[in-house]
């Protein structure tokens, strides 16, 4: 695998990017071309060592640049670069070398782009794509093969849509948004009115607004609002196969882990974390910083800063206590029997 892009940075440039202190043998103008694990490190790669064990390993095996914490003092690492926050610095460096998927400025002649579409500079639009009337794409937008974008949408600068993503009409995506393959944004909300046993669809006339720096996994579905917008707040990260119902408002910097479902009109505050496979009922409110453990079903409001768990979900410490006691039910039964005897 060669997962690094073709960019190169000198050690000096990297030091500047992550504000590190360098004390190694390789010269400052030595060029670095990517990141690696410790065992695969070579003179032109960067790796990192977070604890004593890895520092020892890096001293033995790493011939390239090694990020370590500034408090480590003397080590036998050949080319240590001391930083405040080892892992975060590594992520920043890895990002420098990470490829932008499907980045290939220009418009493929098998793309279908309606006349009224407005395109920013430097867009990459691949084959078998469709962009509907009156849609606007910002600078550097990447539209991978097979993406379909309906009319009257807006895609912000630097946003990347992976293959076969579908953006339905009127939806707005901010800048620096990433949407993984097969995801659908703006599907019709599940709104019905039932009369004499038959269900009549309520036309969903709203849209979806995805703010800047949101990242959305593969095969996610986000429904359009009934009258207004379904909102995904800035910096929120959504894992694969998450379902977001119509009219939902999700705050900033939330994490929705794989296969989570959010019922219609539910509101999540900022920094909310919902662990895998949990479901939140429709029309409930979760305050800021709420956490929900994996496999939970939330059926009512949760106040800010709470950690909930269970089906139905309750305060996590209470739920954990009850889970312990539930396992003791056979003992209870015995105790009760014994008590009855005596």
Closer residue to its own copies (CB): 122 or 288: 288
Q: Are 111 and 129 in contact (CB under 8 A)?
A: yes
Can you count the helices (H) and strands (E) in the chain?
5, 40
Stretch binding its own copies (CB under 8 A), from 13-21, 54-62, 67-75, 270-278: 270-278
Name which of residues 278 to 297 contact its own copies (CB under 8 A).
Answer: 279, 281, 294-295, 297
Closer residue to its own copies (CB): 25 or 104: 104
Q: How far apart are CA 40 and CA 88, in angstroms?
A: 20
Stretch binding its own copies (CB under 8 A), from 12-20, 24-32, 62-70, 196-204: 196-204
Stretch binding its own copies (CB under 8 A), from 9-17, 24-32, 52-60, 186-194: 186-194
What φ, ψ does residue 245 adopt, rounded to 5°? -75, 175
Closer residue to its own copies (CB): 25 or 339: 339
Active-site residue flag, 162: no
Q: How do strand 106-107 and strand 192-195 relate by DSSP bridges?
A: unpaired
180 binding its own copies? (CB under 8 A) = yes
Q: How far apart are CA 304 and CA 288, in angstroms?
A: 5
Minimum distance from residue 27 beta carbon to its own copies (Å) = 27
Name which of residues 200 to 259 contact its own copies (CB under 8 A).
Answer: 200-203, 205-207, 215, 217-219, 221, 223, 227, 235, 237, 239-241, 243, 245, 253, 255, 257-259
Structure tokens at 84: 């405040």
Minimum distance from residue 9 beta carbon to its own copies (Å) = 15
12 binding its own copies? (CB under 8 A) = no
Q: Which of 75, 145, 283, 316 binds its own copies (CB under 8 A)?
A: 145
CB atoms within 10 A of CB 234: 16
Q: How do strand 21-22 and strand 80-83 relate by DSSP bridges?
A: antiparallel
Give the contacts of 307 (CB within 8 A, at least 6 positions apart). Answer: 290, 291, 292, 293, 315, 316, 317
85 binding its own copies? (CB under 8 A) = yes
């Amino acid at each position: 695998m060669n997962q690094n892009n073709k960019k190169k940075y000198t050690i000096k440039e990297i030091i500047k990017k992550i504000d590190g202190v360098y004390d190694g043998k390789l010269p400052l103008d030595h060029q670095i071309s990517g990141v690696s694990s410790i065992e695969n490190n070579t003179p032109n790669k960067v790796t990192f060592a977070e604890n004593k064990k890895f520092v020892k390993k890096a001293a033995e095996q790493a011939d390239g640049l090694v990020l370590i914490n500034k408090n480590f003092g003397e080590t036998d690492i050949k080319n240590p670069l001391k930083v405040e926050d080892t892992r975060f610095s590594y992520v920043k460096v890895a990002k420098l070398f990470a490829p932008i998927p499907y980045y290939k400025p220009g418009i493929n002649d098998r793309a279908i782009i309606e006349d009224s579409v407005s395109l920013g500079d430097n867009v990459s639009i691949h084959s078998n794509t469709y962009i509907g009337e009156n849609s606007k794409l910002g600078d550097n937008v990447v539209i991978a093969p097979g993406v379909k974008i309906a009319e009257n949408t807006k895609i912000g600068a630097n946003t990347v849509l992976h293959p076969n993503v579908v953006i339905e009409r009127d939806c707005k995506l901010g800048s620096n948004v990433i949407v993984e393959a097969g995801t659908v944004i703006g599907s019709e909300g599940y709104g019905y009115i039932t009369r004499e046993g038959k269900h009549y669809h309520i036309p969903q006339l709203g849209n979806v607004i995805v703010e800047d720096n949101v990242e959305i996994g593969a095969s996610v579905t986000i429904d359009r609002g009934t009258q207004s917008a379904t909102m995904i707040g800035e910096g929120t990260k959504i894992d694969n196969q998450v379902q977001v119902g119509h009219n939902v408002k999700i705050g900033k910097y939330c994490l929705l882990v794989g296969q989570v479902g959010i019922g219609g009109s539910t509101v999540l505050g900022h920094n909310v974390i919902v662990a895998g496979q949990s479901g939140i009922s429709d029309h409930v409110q979760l305050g800021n910083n709420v956490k929900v453990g994996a496999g939970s079903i939330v059926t009512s409001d949760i106040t800010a800063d709470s950690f909930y768990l269970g089906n139905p979900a309750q305060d996590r410490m209470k739920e954990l206590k009850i889970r312990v006691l539930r396992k003791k039910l056979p003992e209870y039964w015995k105790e009760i029997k014994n008590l009855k005897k005596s």
